[in-house]
Amino acid sequence: MCAHVDDRKPFLLTSILQNKCPRCRKGKLYKNSNPYNLKKFMEMNKACPVCGQETDMEVGFYYGTSYVSYGLSIALSAATFIAWWVLIGFSVKDNDYRLFWWMGVNAALLLVLQPIMMRLSRTIWLSIFVHYSKDWNKGDVVRAERTNASLQNAW
Ligand SMILES: [Zn+2]
């Protein structure tokens, strides 16, 4: 065979971090690559530009991202808490308010990272219901159910 087909399976974690389609792990889920374009950052492609996987699976599908977003926020807070503990430290008799500094810095970080986390939450949520298929280039996609165009992006 002379034709080179790149059929390696991209890693799950890297494809999620790059907001790639969970079916083929190649196509982009979002129309804009910049998450800080705040007017357009949540606009998704109706279907994956590479394999045709639909991204809106049913009415209100992305309501469930709140669970993922919550989990991500907790995980990030736990990570910054541990990092703060190791690098700066907390103490019981704390006169320099290190715990409150951590709370403030963590809240600011959560706010600044919100656009990235919102996109990641949708990508993770879709990845729970749509899995990788090695036959993605043969049209093996998961069909959406009872979608309603007037309710799209209504959340
Ligand atoms: Zn795809």
Question: Residue 52 burial (CB < 10 Å; 0-12/13-18/19+)?
Answer: middle
3-state secondary structure of 25: coil
Tell me what percent of the residues of the chain surpass a pLDDT of 90.
70
Residue 52 lies in a domain: yes
Is residue 66 one of the residues assigned to a domain?
Answer: yes
Domain count, the chain: 1
Asked if the structure places residue 140 within a domain, the reply is yes
Residue 7 lies in a domain: no
CA angle 26, 29, 30 (to 5 degrees): 130
> Ligand 1 centre from 152 Cα, in Å?
20
Domain residues for the domain of 132 are 12-147
Q: Is residue 54 part of a domain?
A: yes
Please compute Rg for the chain using Cα positions: 19
Question: Ligand 1 centre and the CA of 47: distance in Å?
Answer: 8
Question: Which residues neighbour 58 within 8 Å (Cβ) at sequence distance 6 or greater?
Answer: 144, 145, 146, 147
Find the length of the chain.
155
pLDDT digits (tens, 9 = 90+) for 75-93: 999 999 999 999 998 876 7
Residue 101 inside a domain? The answer is yes
Within a domain: 3 = no
Domain assignment of residue 5, yes or no: no
What is the 75 CA–ligand 1 centroid distance (Å)? 28
pLDDT digits (tens, 9 = 90+) for 33-62: 999 999 999 999 999 999 999 999 988 899
Q: Which amino acid is it at 58?
A: E
Report how far ligand 1's centroid is from the alpha carbon of 61 (Å): 18
Q: Is 127 helix (H, G, I), strand (E, B) or coil?
A: helix
Q: pTM value?
A: 0.86
Tokens of 132: 């990788």
